[in-house]
């Protein structure tokens, strides 16, 4: 409820949600991030794919404007 004093248990829950739990997930994510092979070739491939997807969306948007315009 709004404008109510928080109990000790609810304050502890809020602290856990904002500190300990995110820290645990971050600690679990670090090994997964370290295993991801992000060398120059992979980075270039990802950037090329994103650029192609962006161009595809832009062309689709342009076609919709021309057809609905």
Give 68's pLDDT tier (boundaries 50, 70, 90).
Answer: confident
Say which residue the tokens 């950037």 belong to.
47
With 0.75 as the threshold, say if the pTM is over it.
no
Please give the pLDDT value at position 34: 92
pLDDT in tens, 4-62: 888 899 999 999 999 999 999 999 999 999 998 889 999 999 999 999 999 888 787 77
Give 69's pLDDT tier (boundaries 50, 70, 90).
Answer: low
Measured CA to CA, the distance from residue 41 to residue 1 in angstroms comes to 54
Secondary structure of 24-65 in HEC code, one letter for each residue? HHHHHHHHHHHHCCCCHHHHHHHHHHHHHHHHHHHHHHHHHH
Please give the pLDDT value at position 17: 93
């Amino acid at each position: 409820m709004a404008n109510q004093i928080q109990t000790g248990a609810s304050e502890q829950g809020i602290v856990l949600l904002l500190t300990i739990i995110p820290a645990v997930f971050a600690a679990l994510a670090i090994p997964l991030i370290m295993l991801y092979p992000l060398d120059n070739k992979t980075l270039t491939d990802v950037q090329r794919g994103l650029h192609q997807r962006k161009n595809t969306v832009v062309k689709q948007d342009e076609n919709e404007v021309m057809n609905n315009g």
